[in-house]
Structure 1
Amino acid sequence: MAVNAAERDAMVRALHLAARGPRGANPQVGAVILSPEGRVLAEGWHQGAGTPHAEVDALSKLDPLEARGATAVVTLEPCNHTGRTGPCAVALIEAGIARVVYALDDPGAVSGGGADRLRASGVDVESGEQAEAAHAVIDGWLTAQRLGRPHVTVKWAQSLDGRAAADDGSSMWITGPEARADVHRRRAEADAIAVGTGTVLADDPSLTARDGDALLPHQPIPVVIGARVTPDDAAVRRHPHTPLFFDTHDLHAILADLHSRGVQSLFVEGGPTLASAFLAAGFADRILAYVAPVLLGGRRLALTDIGVGSLTEARRLTIDEWVPLGGDLLAIAHPVEETDPQHEGAA
């Protein structure tokens, strides 16, 4: 049975509802319940971990018999497991829902399979409706699910000869205002932003995302990594979000902790030592290298040891885009997979 106009309209509405939910450990999901004639009976969305899922939220707004023979339009495949809440597939079956239209399959090994359970109970199921739009809503969550950790962007600014600062330590500002504004826009797209304690002590960054002096609507959670104590009067302690401090250099443990908190994307901006640590550990999913037309020389390299002992061990990158920013140039890149043909035979 093909998706009809009322169901398509309901999916548009469900996607809008999904976007109301918070980004976090659980996906943003919206649901609309339609009568057999295509009339909207109820709406719902997932409002955060531990709260009813979108389907159950919508069903809760109906009298017990109203859902009999109705259609549930959902942005993600109804879940098939018991966590803090019960399986949505079972809730739909018990409510008497006759048809389910959803956009994306649930990628979870435990939570997936809801569609099969619905079909086994005689529910008509249609998948893939507006899947691309649904993917855009929960892209960060899907990526974090696939990786088992937050997606990591490693950013640095450098001179044309690869220095992050002059020999006296001064680095403000290597790049121009257009590049710095671009950094702030990208900060605002991340769930969290990480620096090392060395950067906190040397530069006292606020780690906010700003447009000029004004804070942008979304602010990343500040993350400080390292054993040294952050002073009580440090600018990061005045951030809109309470900073997270990690007295460890175990990046596996840090990323696992952030993942458990619902952090889907991490923006690493902590200077050469921290950037190099993430690269060496293989945790750089995207690289942003801002290159300024200036020569500094000296010892303060933008990157230090990343575990490359010879050219054959070089970390090859694929350039996704070159972006001119005033007089500066931004390279957006990602690591080349070992199976990527571009990895072979580099001159």
Structure 2
Amino acid sequence: MGTDEFYLNLCLQSAWQNQLITLPNPAVSALILDQYGTILSLESHQECGKPHAEVLALQKAYAKLSGDCEILRLSDSAQIHQYLLKCSQNLFNKTTIYVSLEPCGSHKCGRTPSCTSLLKALKPKRIIIATQDRSQNAKGGAEELEQCGIPVTKAWETKNLTSIHQCANSLLYPFNALQTKGRFLLYKYACRLDGSINGGQISSKAAQSKMHDYRAKADFLLLSGKTIREDKPTLDARFASLESKRPPNILILTRDNNFSTDAPLFDIPNREVKILNQINPTLQNINGFIMCEGGAELLSALQPHIDMLLVILQPSFNADFTLTMHLRLSFHLVHSMQIGEDLFLWLLPKNQPML
């Protein structure tokens, strides 16, 4: 593995930790090296509306290079931008910056300032980018940086970085689905090593907290009527690690026109609950991030609409419970990561076109 591929891979591994949590923004990480090749910072975008990965990485790198830690007190993106522009002078001229996604162009309109505008002013020695930003609101940053004289290595134009470019595109799949289709549908499925899926809580507390983070970011949580009737769940985000523990709105797929509303989920204030009697065309008219939780029957019904499957594998066996998934489906593994004791497997359906 070459040097550029190694550091871009570190960025991607870091960005995956915040996958879905940054929506509707993409998950992005940035890494900065000093002139001797020492890592000064590796930072990831945390949530929509908060500073981008490049800004967080520059903030921490500035504090290390200058010894001025006052900048670390700032959390507003515009304030960090202004501080860096005012105080950094030529501090970043010998640094190398790696970014998992092309920095947003200077024409960008949004809650945070353009990262490209900041980088053009700071003039680092070199910038290496894993993949391009195709969104109309933010694309074009790489060309802007080159035009102002900053050397830019673009993985999509570099032969030995083809693999890392493909990995970076997989990271962006949820964001790109929202951009192109207006909807991203994730199916979450948890099981033990023996494939068993019954017998109470399966995932560890750390994995449960991460799933509640995803719930807090979802526009809708989709479940079957069978799950609601049998489990009578609350379906909130009380174990989320995020500041906002907003409970998701609920979609219930059922053929029962007189569906009972005695489950605790119906008692959550400020929540929208929709009953769906059929998938088509109802689901096509619902936009945003839709997260699904359920078993084989629901997965089979939703299979043509699923954009990504998340399997949470708990490292245990349970001889007392033998209920397993019975389906014939194939997926591509695009990423794996450990959360607590559990393994998160991110899968794309085979023959799924890359957005």
Common fold: TM-score over 0.5? yes
Q: Does 1:50 align with 2:49?
A: yes
Q: Report the equivalent of 1:301.
A: none
Q: Within 1, Cα distance between the matches of 2:110 and 2:258? A: 38
Q: 1:124 aligns with which of 145, 151, 157?
A: 151
Q: Within 1, Cα distance between the matches of 2:96 and 2:270? A: 44
Identity of aligned residues (%): 23
- Whether the 8 Å CA contact 1:24–1:48 is kept in 2: the answer is yes
Q: Report the equivalent of 1:317.
A: none
Q: Report the equivalent of 1:236.
A: 265
Instruction: Report how many residues are paired.
Output: 260
Question: Offset of 1:247 from its aligned partner?
Answer: 4.3
Q: 1:24 to 1:228 in 2, by over 3 A?
A: farther
Q: Does 1:84 align with 2:111?
A: yes
1:218-254, Cα deviation, whole Å (9 max, x unpaired): x9957234997974x6243699xx894234755345x
Question: Offset of 1:271 from its aligned partner?
Answer: 11
Name the one with the larger helix percent. Answer: 2
Residue type at the aligned position of 2:99: V
The Cα RMSD (Å) is 4.9
Q: Does 1:148 align with 2:182?
A: yes
Q: 2:14 aligns with which of 1, 10, 17?
A: 17
Q: 2:141 aligns with which of 114, 123, 128?
A: 114
Q: 1:8 to 1:177 in 2, by over 3 A?
A: closer
Q: Report the equivalent of 2:97.
A: 72
Residue ranges of structure 2 left out of the alignment (5+ in a row): 63-86, 156-160, 277-281, 310-321, 332-348
Residue type at the aligned position of 1:119: E
Q: 1:274 to 1:8 in 2, by over 3 A?
A: closer
Larger radius of gyration: 1
Q: Within 2, Cα distance between the matches of 1:223 and 1:180? A: 23
Residues 1-347 of structure 1: pairs in structure 2 closer than 5 A: 5=3, 7-21=4-18, 22-61=21-60, 62=62, 64-65=88-89, 66-80=91-105, 81-128=108-155, 129=161, 130-151=164-185, 153=187, 178=196, 180=198, 193-195=221-223, 199=226, 202-206=229-233, 221=248, 223-225=250-252, 231=261, 234-236=263-265, 244-247=271-274, 250-253=282-285, 255-256=286-287, 259=288, 263=289, 266-267=291-292, 269=294, 283=305, 329-332=326-329
Residue type at the aligned position of 2:137: V
What TM-score do you get using the length of structure 1 for normalisation? Answer: 0.56
Question: Offset of 1:194 from its aligned partner?
Answer: 0.9
Residue ranges of structure 1 left out of the alignment (5+ in a row): 156-175, 210-214, 288-324, 338-347
Question: Offset of 1:52 from its aligned partner?
Answer: 0.8
